[in-house]
Amino acid sequence: MKPFNKTKLIGIERLLITLGIIILIGASFFAGIQLCKLYNELRYFNFEYMDSIGSATRQDLEDSKDISDESEEFDGSSADIIKINLMLNWVIDCESSGIHEDRWGEENEYGILQWKSETWDFLSDKYNYEGDWKNQDDQIELFLLTSEEDKIKHWSCYRAWLKENN
């Protein structure tokens, strides 16, 4: 019978410990990446603001008799609010990377949603919205008020979002 070789066991232990450390580092790295993705999707997320916008929009639609409580178009649920907010964040990231001040596009678009002054004038008249086209909150509110048809027509990033999410 051969004598027991302790040096061989120590080598195997070192190898197993090294592999374990590599696996832990890799798992931590990929978990970190997933957290970063989640953060990027939700970094502009403002539940109270979106809830108030959703409720106001729902009430406006009900007042105008365009929808009823049975309508599936928008029911004001948390899922709808989250979907709208994720879409908004995606479009904002695409249009301006979330930067509003001094963010000018190639065709004189401005701000977080890259509004053109002519587009602002047209859509603010169409939706009877009074606001400043260079104000970040006003840009977001009018964008959310616009129909899907208008979003498709005026924002290439919205069209890209539709392609990716449908």
Question: Tens digit of pLDDT for each residue in 72-101?
Answer: 445 556 777 888 888 898 898 888 888 887
Q: Is the dihedral of CA 87, 90, 95, 97 positive or negative?
A: positive
pLDDT band at 104 (very low <50, low <70, confident <90, very high): confident
Contacts of 130 by beta carbon, 8 Å cutoff, 6+ apart: 124
- Res 162 pLDDT > 60: yes
CA 23 to each of CA 7, 27, 69, 81, 128: distance values in angstroms, whole numbers, following the listed order = 24, 6, 52, 38, 58
The larger pLDDT score, comparing residue 68 to residue 130, is at 130
pLDDT band at 70 (very low <50, low <70, confident <90, very high): very low
pLDDT band at 143 (very low <50, low <70, confident <90, very high): very high
Calculate helix-pair angle for 136-145, 47-63, nearest 10 degrees.
40
Token pair for residue 29?
């790295």
Q: Which fold has domain 78-165?
A: Lysozyme (1.10.530)
Q: Whole-model pTM?
A: 0.54
The larger pLDDT score, comparing residue 56 to residue 80, is at 80
Contacts of 42 by beta carbon, 8 Å cutoff, 6+ apart: 85, 89
The larger pLDDT score, comparing residue 125 to residue 79, is at 125
